[in-house]
Structure 1
Amino acid sequence: MWRRSLHALRLPTIALLFAAALAGCSGDDEPVYVEQPPEELYNEALGQLLAGSYERSAQGFDEVERQHPYSVWASRAQLMSAYAYYQGDKYDDAINSLDRFIQLNPGSRDIAYAYYLKAICYYERISDVGRDQKNTLDALENLEEVVRRFPDSRYARDSQLKIDLARDHLAGKHMEIGRYYQGQKEYLAAINRYQTVIRDYQTTTHVPEALHRLVESYMALGVYQEAEATAAVLGYNFPGSDWYLDSYALLTGEDLRPAEHKGSWISRVWGSVF
């Protein structure tokens, strides 16, 4: 579901600079590895890329670097190899090429693109909340690095949007686990997950439900003061939400009314709610 959110991921600048050199080059010939000039190898690989033969293209760009490691074409080929691997869904190979490019070419005009493409390689492998979220964490770390290193680049805004989506996804994972524990009547474990969402993911869409689930869990444990304080925060910040209406109904059924309790952890985390 995360695939190609920017399907128009542009070719790196270096590819566009040399696309004109493709005239007369065939992208269907088998590559010849002996004594080929770097520009010929490069253009053959670029032709394969434009034709959609991503694996052969990546191998061709790798061959440029192998045969001519000290030429100006080598650094260009590293980045183009990564792009070809990415287009072919060979994410780990793309990341390896990008790491090499970043290490060897820190001053390149395409360095921001390299960091961004690396982040995208993780981002597009984010799985649903029922599965392991390592790729989500890796995507978040790399997207934040793009924003931190290149705040004025054209990649920073898109990275920030994807950061928000990745954080929402991580919050959703905590909610899924919390609901499971709550269903098993393991309320302390559930409360821990819901508290994590409220403390660490306050700007995500999962906060209203997390607050309501806390009210439910506190009520189940008989911790009414915490239930009241949590409902107060929920009602103040999300007064029209169904989650607040559910919490209010639950509280009034127990002869309780939402009220602030300054000594509660929820008041300390959220700040004053009135």
Structure 2
Amino acid sequence: MLLSRLTGVSVLGLALLLGACSSTPEKEKVAEQPAAELYKESQIRMEDGNYRSAIAHLEALLSRYPFGPHADQAQLDLISAYYASADNPAALASIDRFIRLNPTHKDIDYALYMRGLVNEDEDRNYFQELFRIDRSDRDPHNIREAFGDYERLLREYPGSKYAPDAALRMTALKNRLARYEVQVAEYYYARDAFVASLGRGKYVLEYMPDTPEVERALELMALCYEELGMEKAQQDTLRVLKLNYPDNEMVLTVGS
């Protein structure tokens, strides 16, 4: 399964990539064949990494034999092929259609796992990753969607073979969401919107207490309480900060 599609691209490779994005290849015309032959051809192309051709064969199979014995597996393979070819909108549409039409299918856990992967991928930006640009301030809509997908997978299919990786990914996604909340809190604090900043800090403490961003959230809360003239609340926050982060600079300079 392709979890990272583009790595180590040179400047020339980047130029070629940009050139390739400027035009859409003509869709392959698939000859009339029995369902079993179409499916076999799609698998050969998947194994060869020819995902566009695999997609053409799978789409032809589902169009011509929508209720055949290969239909369910073809839908699942189509999801993988769309994802591997970086067609995330088509992958999401296929996943949602599969879940809607097959709510009790034995492979729903796979569909949910793939939905999480696709939503994670939608949050990424290739150019930001290539040049190591931190954009954790970007609206994390797709990250929230991915988190929800993995959460549902773990809740409804705890014994799934995809559950361990989903749990690990949820930890990373929660950290990303906490960074976003703290950056928004920073934004509000810099603009003297102390109540709004305080609310974001409290949100991190309540819903993301096991993330590295808690330390900065507590610092911002203490600063906001100071600006709001709420001395007791500030001291309480500093005590919590000192208890959990005894070497914190604010604790050493303000809270001592």
Give the TM-score normalised by the residue count of structure 1. 0.76
Alignment of 1:125-274 (within 5 A): 125-127=122-124, 128-240=135-247, 242=248, 245-252=249-256
Letter in 2 for 1:186: A
Unpaired runs of at least 5, structure 2: 7-27, 125-134
Letter in 2 for 1:189: A
Q: Which moved more, 1:104-113 or 1:153-162?
A: 104-113
The structure-2 alpha-carbon separation of the partners of 1:64 and 1:172, relative to structure 1 and needing over 3 Å to count, comes to same
Query: How high is the sequence identity, in percent, across the aligned residues?
Result: 29
Deviation at 1:220, TM superposition (A): 2.5
Q: What is the CA distance between 1:90 and its match in structure 2?
A: 0.9
The corresponding residue for 1:268 is none
Check conservation: 1:86, 1:94, Cα contact below 8 A. Answer: yes
Match of 1:74 in 2: 71
Match of 2:92 in 1: 95
For residues 161-185 of structure 1, what are the alpha-carbon distances to aligned partners after superposition, in whole Å with 9 as ceiling and x for unaligned? Answer: 1112111111111100111111122
1:58 and 1:96 mapped to 2: Cα distance?
14
Q: Which amino acid aligns with 1:212?
A: E
AA aligned opposite 2:3: R
Q: State the distance in 2 between where 1:143 and 1:129 align.
A: 20
Measured in 1, the distance between the counterparts of 2:183 and 2:145 equals 20
C-alpha distance in 2, partners of 1:111/1:178? 38
Shift of residue 107 of structure 1? Answer: 4.4
Q: CA deviation at 1:56?
A: 2.1
Structure 2 distance, partners of 1:133, 1:210, is: 18
State how far apart, in whole Å, the 1-side matches of 2:5 and 2:165 are: 9
> Corresponding residue for 1:11?
none
Is the contact between residue 119 and residue 143 of structure 1 (CA under 8 Å) also seen in structure 2? yes
1:141 offset after TM fit, Å?
Answer: 0.9
> 4+ runs of 1 displaced by more than 6 Å?
none
Residue equivalent to 2:39: 42
For the structure 1 residues 198 and 32, does the alpha-carbon distance in structure 2 shift closer, same or farther, using more than 3 Å as the test?
Answer: closer
Which of 118, 121, 127 does residue 118 from structure 2 map onto? 121
1:33 pairs with 2:31 = yes
Unpaired runs of 5+ residues, structure 1, are: 8-29, 253-274
Q: Give, in whole Å, the separation in 1 of the partners of 2:111 and 2:5.
A: 15
Supply the distance in 2 between the matched residues of 1:234 and 1:6 (Cα, whole angstroms).
41
| 8 Å Cα contact 2:29-2:56 kept in structure 1 | no
What is residue 52 of structure 2 aligned with on the other side? 55
The answer (yes or no) to whether the contact 2:116–2:149 under 8 Å persists in 1 is yes
CA contact under 8 A between 1:191 and 1:214: conserved in structure 2?
A: yes
1:58 touches 1:82 (CA, 8 Å); kept in 2? no
- The alignment yields a C-alpha RMSD, in angstroms, of 2.1
